[in-house]
Each structure stands twice: as C-alpha cells, then as structure tokens.
Structure 1
Amino acid sequence: MTTGGKPGSGFAWPDALCCAVRSLPQHSRLWVALSGGLDSMVLLHLATACHQGRVALAAVHINHQLQANAGEAEALCRAVCEELEVPLEVRRVTVDASCESTPAGGIEEAARDARYAEFDQILAPGDLLLMAHHADDQAETVLFRLLRGTGVAGLAGMPVHRPLGRGHLFRPLLAFGRAELERCARAAALSWVEDPSNTDRVFDRNYLRHEVMPGLKSRWPTVIQRVERSAEACAESTFLNQRLAEKQWLELGDQQGRVDLAGFRTLSLAEQKNLIRWWVDRQGYAPLTVSGWRQLIHDLTEAAEDRAPVIEGRGFSLRRFRSKLYLIPDRPAPPSGPVFLVPGQTLPWGWWTLRLESVLTPQPPLPPIRVSTRQGGERVPMSASEHSKSLKNWFQEQAVPPWERACLPLVFVGSGAAEQLIAVGDFWCSGQYSGGAPAAGWRLVVGRDCD
C-alpha cells in the first residue's frame, strides 16, 4: 500500500479538478468505480468533497480475485469508504486466468467484461457511474487501438459520457494527466494500492505505458495533448459518419428494420460500410471484425438469387432475402423433437414463444397440441373453397425468409391420421384457435422475440 505522506494543513483540491467533478450530467444517484488504485481514490475523495450530502453517493469495488493483493485492495476500499461515510458495494467475480484458455492480454479483456457486467447489474435508471480514466489512459488507448488497426470510431478513444446498462457512465478526469493526479494524492496524504500486474510487460497496455510512452514523452513532451487532439478529430468524424448513416437509414430502412437492397447498391463502398457499422451498433452488437469488406458486400448484394450470402458477427448475422437486407439476432436452436403445449405455460421456440389460453369457463376439453419443426410433406389448409397448399409453396408466397423456415414452429392438433396443422409460427393460425372467440374455446398465442 502507498501513502502520500503527511497532508498539508487544510489541503484544498485544485479548482479545475473540482469543477470537472461538479460538472456532471443530470442524475439521481452517483456511483464511483473504486479499484483501490491512485486514480480511483482521487476520484472518490473529489466526489465526496463535491457531492456528499447533495445527492445519493456510493462506491462500487469489483474484486477480480486475480492479484495477490486483491484482498488488501478490497480492505482498503472498505476502510476508506467507512472513514468517508460512503456506502460501498463489493462484488467478487471469477475470471478465467488459465494460460491455456486466456492468451496474454486476454485476461485484461476478460476482467473488463466481468467488471462491466457487474456495473450493468448495479446501475438503476438515473444512476451515473464515475470512472477515473485520465489523459494518459486515453493516449494509451488510442495508441493501442491504432496498433490493432482500428477505424476512426476506435481512434476517438474513450468517450467522456455514454450509456451503461440502465444508467450512464461518466469520466470526469480525462483532461488531466496522471502526474497531476499523483501530486494531488500525495499532497492530500491519500492511501492506495498498486496493482502488481501494472508492471508486467507481457500485457500490451503495460508495454505501451512503460516502454513506449516514456520515449514519446521525452521526444515530444506534449504527446498526450497531441494524441488528445487527434482523438477529438476522430470523434468528430465518427459523429459525422453517424449523422450520414442516420440520414441514409431514413431513406433506405423500413418499419421492419430492413434495408432496401436497390438503394443500398447505389451507395459507395465507404457509405455501405459506414451504414452497416452504424446499423450493427444501433442494435447493440459488438463491431464487425472482418477483412475484405469489398468482397463481402459484393457477395451480400450481388450473389445470384438462389444463393444465401451472409456476414457473421458476434451474436448476429447480416443476410439478404429478395429485395431487402436483414440484421438477424442469433437465437437458441428449437427443441430437436416434438413438444406438447401445456395450457397456461409459455413455450420458448427459437425466435418465437407459444402459449395456449382458455377463453371459456369451465375450460373445454383440449386435444393434444404438438409443436415441431418442418419434417417435409406438410400442407397448409386454406379456406373451405380452396385446396390445401404445400408448406414449401406457401413459404414462397408468404415471403418467409429461408433462415426461418427450418426452425419455424409448426403447431398440430389431434393425433395419428386425424392430426391437423393449425398454425405456422406467427404467420398463420387457424380460426379455430385464433381471434376474439376461437371456436375451439382455446386461443393459441404466438409471439416473436424482437430483442
């Protein structure tokens, strides 16, 4: 543990730091992400000095249980919060740190994911989480992303403010260098814990921090400010790219969340990539990490009608059907065999949910209701004046996308030779089991998960 030493008499925090921590977005409750390190300890004391008694203030410590001094860091956070009379929420997480399953640097990523997952759970609507990232962190982030080959959105660095879970995240110290924060911490006699992994050069960020940044600062003393200006320029470019994508979405998107293929083809490759990136981000997915954009988009837009081109992402895919482009969330596979519906119980089925509800009292008798995927040879009954149609032809007429056909829930009533098809997903349902007064006395409710 490191201590700043004897505090000066009546230590006062610099006005610039106080102003940064006072100038927060509107919020109902304030959280401070407290690791036990120098930066977060400075932020906690600033938040306490500026906000305690004005809004509900609390701290959250995520113990990753990875370092030998993880217990010491947690104990220090508890002691400091008790002294400052700030409520503390401690969450312990388990991160896979095995060499076989997690490459060097991957541990940091896994720890970050675990940390932010906890933040997502903690934050309520109206909550604001303060994080202590500073200007040196920002410069390292931009350089790290540059070396990874990221685009302008990544080179914009960490945003000052963004949504997080049901609340928001805010970084009030991004304009201040670590040296300034350390001077204040020592002058205020704060205590903090050094993370021993911060000196391990096997991690890319530590290599940048200890091997690269000192040389850059020696050669170009204002390198932090220069990188910050470049990040701001990239942030402006990202903003303009987003505005362009929003405008093009209004022209090409429809109410079902699809993109018109003919209009998409008229865009330049740069505009097509930009619109896809915006579309993916708008749906809350991780950015696409693909190479060969030109060929991928060509396949997606120009492949023959009998082809099924696809761009795979993390948790989703981009597909084409007829004259539209679709962004399709990944869904769990439906049950491998038939399942019988139980009245009053909701059955999850891929993109769909199914439920049987009684509309009469007492409940009328209910024959077996079976749900399964397409097996081949099914026919859809038409009206009394029409013959039935093969399910294959019916799918084509109804423009059911090919990726839905194999997993679509088919609902049958009865058993044996008397069994009849009464519903095809959320596309069609027999009048015997639908409407305000279904003749069977039971209503089949089929919903689609649109999240």
Structure 2
Amino acid sequence: MTAGAEPASGFAWPEALCVAVRSLPEHRRLWVAVSGGLDSTLLLHLACHGHAGAARPKAIHVNHQLQPNAGETESFCRELCQTLGVELTVRRVAVAERMAGGGPSGLEEAARHARYEVFESLLAPGDLLLMAHHADDQAETVLFRLLRGTGVRGLAGMPRYRPLGRGRLFRPLLDFDRAQLVQWATRAGLRWVEDPSNTDPGFDRNFLRHTVLPVLKPRWPGLNRRLAHTATACADSAWLNDRLAEIHWQSCGDDSGRLALTALAGLSPLEQQNLVRWWIRRGGYPLPPRSDWSQVVAELCGAGADREPELLGKGFAVRRYRRHLYLVPQRPPLPTAPMAVTPGRVLAWGEWRVGLYPTVERQGEAPAIRVSTRQGGERFRPAPDRPVRPVKKWLQEQGVPPWERARIPLVFRQEAGGWTLIGIGDLWCHGQYSGSAPVAGWRLIVERDCD
C-alpha cells in the first residue's frame, strides 16, 4: 500500500490539530511512534506539517512479528517515511518468547512491554516521543483498569506527558475522538494499514472497543468526555496523595531511605498505606497488584517484635528490622567460593567493590588477599586494645540487618597460620591496611555501589 507525501489537493489541516502538534513541550529532538495504522500515520503527517522549515521528526516502528501482515506493515512504514523525508528506525522484537501470561491478554501485555523497551533504548536526554493515543484509547484504558481493579492512579488513565527512559513521552491527540481522526484522514486522502488483531474480541481492549463501548455511547452521549473527566479527577487525587506522602516522609523517613515505625504509628492506617506505596514507587519499583494493602501494611507496622513480616514485589522486598522498614532491592547471587583480590584491580562482589592498592612506602610483594561471605565462627579484634569478638555478634551490635550480614564481604590475608580477617565490608578495616599511611604498604578499599 502506498502513501502520499502530502494530503489531497485543496485539503487544509484543521487548526485544532495543528495547534496540538505545534504546542509541544520543549525538546531537543522529536520522534514519532509509527505503527502504520490510521492514528500514527495521521500524527506523522501532522508532525511533518507542523515542523515545516524546521528539523524533520524521526520515526520509530516496532515490528512485533505477530500478524500475517507484519512485513507489509513494516514496508508501508518505510515507504511512508521515505515519501515524507523522515528518517525511520525499525526494531523487530520477539514478543512470543517473553509472554508474562497465557492467552491474548498475556500477549497484549508482552507486546506493550517490548514496544516501550525499544522506545526507552532509543530516546536520549532532551528527546520527545509523540504517540497517537486519542480519546477513545483513553476511554478504553479507564474502563479496562476499572474492570481489572485499580485505584485512583490507575483510573487516571494515560498521562498526556511523562518521562520515558532518558527522554519524555507526549500524547497530543488525547482530546480528539477516533471518529474525528478518521474523518480528517479520509478527507486528506491518507492511506494506512489495518492491524487484523484489532478486530479480535479475544483481546480485552478489542472487546471493550467493539462490544461494550458501542452499547454505552448511545446511552451516555459524550462518554469519552465523561471518562476523560473521571481520569483527570483521579489524576488530581493521585497527585494530592503523592504530595501528602512527601509531607509524611519528612517526619517518617531518614537519610538511609528507611521508614521509622515509631513515626509511622502516628499516622492513620490510610496515611500509612499511602506513604508505603509512595515510598515503593519512589524507589523505582512497580506496586504489587494486591487487594489487601491495609492488612499488609498493618502487619509490617504492627506485628510483634519477634515477627519478621515481609512484602515481596518485582525486584524488591519491604522488610522490618529494629523499628524501621527497609526497601531492599533484589540482588544477584554471590560467588559460592572465595575470590582472590588482584593488586591494583577492582574485584566485583555482588553490590560491593574490593580493591588493594600500593602506597608510596610499600615494601616487598603484595599480600595474598581473598574475599568471601560469612561461613560461621569468624572472629576478629576491632582494635589492638580490644578483645577478640565474634563477627556475627559485632554485626548485630552495629545494627546491620540480617539480609545484609549474609552478603557483606569479609576480606582475609594469608599468613603462616592460615587466613586472618582484615576487613568487614565498609564497616571495619585492619589498621595495617587503612589510614593515611598503612603500615603494610597496601591500602584496602571496600565500597558499596550506589543504588
């Protein structure tokens, strides 16, 4: 299918559409997500029209390789962009290999994640990506999330403007119904490719689009506007919830990123839930899809001192220790055997970095140094005038949480009688290997990566 570079002779783009693509957030480089369908084809034409005389936008097409006409659609996008003088980037993804669940819904979600991962990988700081979602898409999103079960944040629908990777995403067509876009695109003589999956009622959004919404719209005229109003009201409520959480964080949070249970106890249960959810999102993690938040947060905050409540999520866990809640990132497994430290080179040990470096005053060869985790029974002398202490008990006294004790690197030096402990994470280092002028002539540095 071919596409013309310009609309039909005599056609003028409506001013409302022109304003939508002229009034864009500040950006360094403009991208347009192009699927080959009506909406994105129209948006690309508008972006080119609105940037006449300026730098041409760039286009991104993600080929999910799911439909029989996937190749035809990719070819159409290439021809469209060539005709408009737009540089096109195509990425092919294997969606079927990464499905999060079975059936059409799982496929739909996997395709979305794959698509956005491509966008994030391409956007640079200062880049702006335009997407062609319109008012009908927003209505479907709000209804879909309502039926799936969500709070005000989900019912806020798709934001018009948000961060995406190192750039930003903007949806300039959210105020227009699809029927309007079809009418304008037809008058302009534009051509596009239909995705055959768009008529498959097995997909939840298609079921809403073709079965549910056509029944609702005659009964409630202006349904898209009504749902858009609901989305806006929910977005306002979500913003206020975040603002309240930020205020509570000032009294409940600390410089280590923890939440103090004593301060949390002064909040109402709803305020506690709001703060904990905000805290998790602030850490960059998605909220677990739970319906029992009140019970979970009550357990985290109010369980007995002998209990160890835990909330598990994707890539993180919320744990409690000594009257604080910790947001703990999921870590890769540590090496199962001790590892030698090569002088002058950094040894990666999980989230830790261990290095042994010579000083100007050093004499002789480098000592044999190795790193391992606690095996049990390790002892050390914290200072020359202090008694020998069990490492386990000392870590407890330092307030190191149990999950960190299991990962903290222990550094040993080889001596005639075996291996001697000379370092415990970034908490303690033997005097011979620390200070301004280490006696051993070698300086031991153990650092934790910044999260």
Instruction: Give yes or no for TM over 0.5.
Output: yes
Give the distance between the partners of 1:17 and 1:99, measured in 2 at CA. 37
**What is the CA-CA distance between 1:321 and the residue it aligns to?**
1.2
Give the distance between the partners of 1:10 and 1:416, measured in 2 at CA. 93
Q: Which amino acid aligns with 1:186?
A: T
Q: Does 1:271 align with 2:286?
A: no
Q: Which amino acid aligns with 1:155?
A: L
Give the distance between the partners of 2:215 and 2:129, measured in 1 at CA. 34
The 1:437/1:188 distance shift into structure 2, 3 A limit, reads farther
**What is the CA-CA distance between 1:109 and the residue it aligns to?**
0.8
**What is the CA-CA distance between 1:134 and the residue it aligns to?**
0.5
Give the distance between the partners of 1:321 and 1:28, measured in 2 at CA. 46
Aligned residue number for residue 324 of structure 1: 324
Matches within 5 A, 1:165-244: 165-244=165-244
- 8 Å contact 2:260–2:323 — kept in the other structure? yes
CA RMSD of aligned residues (A): 2.0
Q: Which amino acid aligns with 1:218?
A: P
Aligned residue number for residue 21 of structure 2: 21
Give the distance between the partners of 2:362 and 2:398, measured in 1 at CA. 37
The 1:411/1:18 distance shift into structure 2, 3 A limit, reads same
Q: Any gaps of 5 or more consecutive residues in structure 1?
A: none
What SS is found at the alignment partner of 1:193?
coil
Which region of structure 1 is more displaced relative to structure 2, 280-289 or 209-218?
280-289
- 8 Å contact 2:353–2:449 — kept in the other structure? yes
Q: Which amino acid aligns with 1:292?
A: D
Q: Which amino acid aligns with 1:298?
A: A
Name the % identity.
58
Give the distance between the partners of 2:174 and 2:363, measured in 1 at CA. 64
Aligned residue number for residue 258 of structure 1: 258
Q: Does 1:447 align with 2:434?
A: no
Aligned residue number for residue 120 of structure 2: 120
- 8 Å contact 2:48–2:56 — kept in the other structure? no
- 8 Å contact 2:142–2:154 — kept in the other structure? yes
Give the distance between the partners of 2:391 and 2:412, measured in 1 at CA. 14
TM-score (norm: length of structure 2): 0.95
Q: Which amino acid aligns with 2:272?
A: Q
What SS is found at the alignment partner of 1:274?
helix
Cα deviation, 1:32-61, whole Å, max 9, x if unaligned, reads 011111100011000000114424521111
Cα deviation, 1:422-449, whole Å, max 9, x if unaligned, reads 1111222222223333222322222212
Aligned residue number for residue 93 of structure 2: 93
Give the distance between the partners of 2:431 and 2:43, measured in 1 at CA. 63
Q: Which amino acid aligns with 1:323?
A: R
Matches within 5 A, 1:71-82: 71-82=71-82
The 1:70/1:289 distance shift into structure 2, 3 A limit, reads same
The 1:355/1:168 distance shift into structure 2, 3 A limit, reads same
Give the distance between the partners of 1:329 and 1:430, measured in 2 at CA. 30
Q: Does 1:138 align with 2:138?
A: yes
- 8 Å contact 1:28–1:56 — kept in the other structure? no
The 1:98/1:390 distance shift into structure 2, 3 A limit, reads closer
**What is the CA-CA distance between 1:77 and the residue it aligns to?**
0.9
**What is the CA-CA distance between 1:255 and the residue it aligns to?**
1.0
Aligned residue number for residue 310 of structure 1: 310
Q: Which amino acid aligns with 2:426?
A: D
- 8 Å contact 1:412–1:421 — kept in the other structure? yes
**What is the CA-CA distance between 1:3 and the residue it aligns to?**
7.4
- 8 Å contact 1:63–1:93 — kept in the other structure? yes
The 1:303/1:188 distance shift into structure 2, 3 A limit, reads same
Aligned residue number for residue 343 of structure 1: 343
The 1:97/1:376 distance shift into structure 2, 3 A limit, reads closer
Aligned pair count reads: 450
Q: Which amino acid aligns with 1:126?
A: G
- 8 Å contact 2:99–2:106 — kept in the other structure? no
The 1:421/1:193 distance shift into structure 2, 3 A limit, reads same
Aligned residue number for residue 430 of structure 1: 430
Q: Which amino acid aligns with 1:350?
A: G
Cα deviation, 1:401-421, whole Å, max 9, x if unaligned, reads 111111211111115633211
Cα deviation, 1:233-291, whole Å, max 9, x if unaligned, reads 10110011011011111121111111111111121121111111111111111122223
TM-score (norm: length of structure 1): 0.95
Give the distance between the partners of 2:66 and 2:55, measured in 1 at CA. 33
Give the distance between the partners of 1:150 and 1:100, measured in 2 at CA. 19
What SS is found at the alignment partner of 1:96?
helix
Give the distance between the partners of 1:118 and 1:441, measured in 2 at CA. 50
What SS is found at the alignment partner of 2:104?
coil
The 1:386/1:361 distance shift into structure 2, 3 A limit, reads closer
- 8 Å contact 1:145–1:154 — kept in the other structure? yes
**What is the CA-CA distance between 1:305 and the residue it aligns to?**
2.3
What SS is found at the alignment partner of 1:414?
strand
Give the distance between the partners of 2:278 and 2:221, measured in 1 at CA. 36
Aligned residue number for residue 381 of structure 1: 381
Q: Which amino acid aligns with 1:404?
A: E
- 8 Å contact 1:432–1:438 — kept in the other structure? yes
The 1:21/1:322 distance shift into structure 2, 3 A limit, reads same
- 8 Å contact 2:269–2:298 — kept in the other structure? no
Give the distance between the partners of 1:218 and 1:394, measured in 2 at CA. 72
